Structure 1
Amino acid sequence: MNLVTKKMTEKNAIDILTWKYEKPYDLYNNVLSGDAILELLDGSYKVITDTHNRTVGYFCLGRAAQVPAGDQFQVYKADCIDVGIGMKPELTGKGNGEKFFSHILESIYQEHPNTDIRLTVATFNERAIHLYEKFGFIRLQTFNRETTEFITMIKHKG
């Protein structure tokens, strides 16, 4: 699977917002709305496609990648680039994660070399946490938003 990072289009945004994940990953389901489309088109999101221009996933950088509830626990105080990712539900759990996440990290480092990268993930998502640890991310802080516990993880530059 060869991957390409592109600017998010309205067509990509609508496609992504209609994805439906099975429990317990349904936490990552979105609602298709005008505001949600505008958020995905605000410049902080990139779409990842295969060579046939089929949407494989996306990533976002900055505030869009943070869980706002983490602010009250000061989990985002350190100067880092925050990344959030999403892979098409039909492609998850099938061994595609390493290639997908590697592509995202390469894209980030091309624009932001020598920068610490932080991500936030629900603690039940052990599949993702294991993947991130393979890439050198270490666990930092946990916090709760309503009934879900999250953890921040960081990959130090270099």
Structure 2
Amino acid sequence: MNQMNGPASPLAPSSAGGAASTFRLGVVQTAAPVLGGGLVGTVLTYVLVAATGGRMAAGELWTWVSAAMLASVVVLVLSPHYRVELSDNFLILRGGRRRDIAWRDIIGIEVRKTAGVRTVVVHVSDGRRIPLRAPMSLLDRRFDDKAQVLVDWWTARRGSPDRV
């Protein structure tokens, strides 16, 4: 299985016919939004205390901030380990549960940009649009290569009548 979040080598030029690939978010990609939220929460707490003229001791404030940061770390550790796997017959989404999408049921793959972060969205024949959590462009210089691997796999497998 090809681990696609390593920093060293580029993706193979034609991964569509190669070994199955797996896309996962890196630790920093997972932690950045949570830590950013913790930072924003901390700033808002300081602003709220200052705006209300409340008297909160530094130790008390530190306890609240520490609890928020600890909660952020716990969320990271306990969250399901989401990944996207490519097999010959299916695009497999794993996280809290497993979801298999047959390549023949996928009618389109697009890259969508939201709040400056690009993600892959899979369009399915029943009208659903399924955003993939991995790969994502946040802190990943190889996002375009990974998105192209997904498109290559879909292109190579979508129309074969002998595939299940």
TM-score of the two chains, using structure 1 as the length reference: 0.28
The higher relative CO (CA closer than 8 Å, separation ≥ 6) is in: 2
Higher fraction of helix: 2
For the pair shown, which has the larger CA radius of gyration, 1 or 2? Answer: 2
TM-score (norm 2): 0.27
